[in-house]
Amino acid sequence: MENNFLNFKKKSETETELYIYGNIEQKTWIDDWLGIGKEKTDAFTLKDALMQVDTPNLTVRINSYGGDVSEGLAIYSLLSEFKGHLKTIVDGFACSAASVIFMAGKERVVPENGLLMIHNAWTEARGDSNKMKKIAEDLEKITQPSLNIYTAKTNLSEEEIKEKMDREEWITSQEAYEWGFSTTQERKNAVMQAVEADFVYNLVMKNKELQNTIEQKAKETAEEILKEQCKGSAIKEPMGLLNPNQNKIKEDAWTSFFNTKNKKR
């Protein structure tokens, strides 16, 4: 099942990717009538799509500002029931209801470029003071399931989570890992730097070894030529102190050695 935002892609016989890129919102008859609403991800459509997943691993990639609490909680429940290994990744933002969906992953990743945002449920309302009081009470109850999920999955207390939700907290990659919202910290730059440093080190060491080998072989070749041309007399003086004829012989030995190496390549 595919559309522009809720997109399943079977990458291999063992892994499927799901992209949730859009509002977490139930489609209406108006959307169907007008042929719009492709940017919406709803629990009903996701339920049908999940039934088509036949791989043991599912990766859910999220970039969403959130949406309806009810749809977010339903999608969280559906993903939590996935029998295989579920990995969730924040590709950009996972805000509000989308952050709840993110918490469904057994493995959760907020990369350096990703952000979470958590806050209390909110609505628009009108009415008298009694009505407003009732709505405030309802909103606290509607917020509670999300608060429970964050508390259960992170290493923060309910009071700490509540404080962050009251502040409408934006959470960085580092904070997400430290507080337990994510389980895996991806440090691509650090990894690449380590790989590159290791590569450069090995390259330098190999070249150093090669250089030492070449110098040793050249020296041996030069000594053999000198022994032959100087009637076996041993070379006891450093290169700079040799007489002109001996220097010329050594230069010829180096040239002969490198020409031989180049021909073999």
Q: What are phi and psi of 57, to 5 degrees?
A: -120, 135
- Contacting residues for 225 by C-beta, under 8 A, at least 6 apart: 249, 252, 253, 256
Residues 166 and 35 in one domain: yes
Note the helical H segments in the chain.
29-34, 43-50, 69-80, 97-102, 129-153, 158-166, 173-179, 188-229, 244-264
Residues 167 and 229 in one domain: no
The confidence score (pLDDT) of residue 256 equals 61
Q: In this structure, is residue 191 part of a structural domain?
A: no
Q: In this structure, is residue 1 part of a structural domain?
A: no
Residues 161 and 43 in one domain: yes
107 SS3 class = strand
pTM: 0.68
Q: What is the mean pLDDT of each run of 10 residues along the chain (265 residues)?
A: 61 92 83 73 88 93 95 96 96 96 97 96 92 95 97 97 97 97 75 53 61 73 68 47 52 59 48
Chain-centre distance for alpha carbon 131: 47
**CA nearest neighbour of 7 among 45, 54, 55:** 45
Look at the chain and report how many structural domains it folds into.
Answer: 2
Q: What are phi and psi of 108, to 5 degrees?
A: -125, 130
Residues 226 and 123 in one domain: no
Residue 265 amino acid letter: R
Q: Among 127, 156, 186, which residue terminates a domain?
A: 186
Q: In this structure, is residue 74 part of a structural domain?
A: yes
Q: Among 156, 186, 216, which residue terminates a domain?
A: 186
Q: What are phi and psi of 184, to 5 degrees?
A: -130, 130
Rounded-to-integer distance, Cα 219 and Cα 213, Å: 10
Residues 89 and 43 in one domain: yes
The confidence score (pLDDT) of residue 32 equals 73
Note down the domain range covering 156: 6-186
Residues 13 and 101 in one domain: yes
Q: In this structure, is residue 192 part of a structural domain?
A: no
Residues 247 and 134 in one domain: no
Structure letter (DSSP) for residue 89:
E
Residues 227 and 162 in one domain: no
CB 49 within 8 A of CB 92: no
The confidence score (pLDDT) of residue 236 equals 46
Which sequence positions are flagged as catalytic? Answer: 96, 119
Q: Among 145, 162, 186, which residue terminates a domain?
A: 186
The confidence score (pLDDT) of residue 239 equals 45
Residues 234 and 158 in one domain: no
**CA nearest neighbour of 119 among 168, 64, 69:** 168
**CA nearest neighbour of 101 among 114, 111, 86, 112:** 86
**CA nearest neighbour of 66 among 122, 145, 149:** 122
CATH of the domain at 12: 3.90.226.10
Q: In this structure, is residue 193 part of a structural domain?
A: no
Residues 144 and 241 in one domain: no
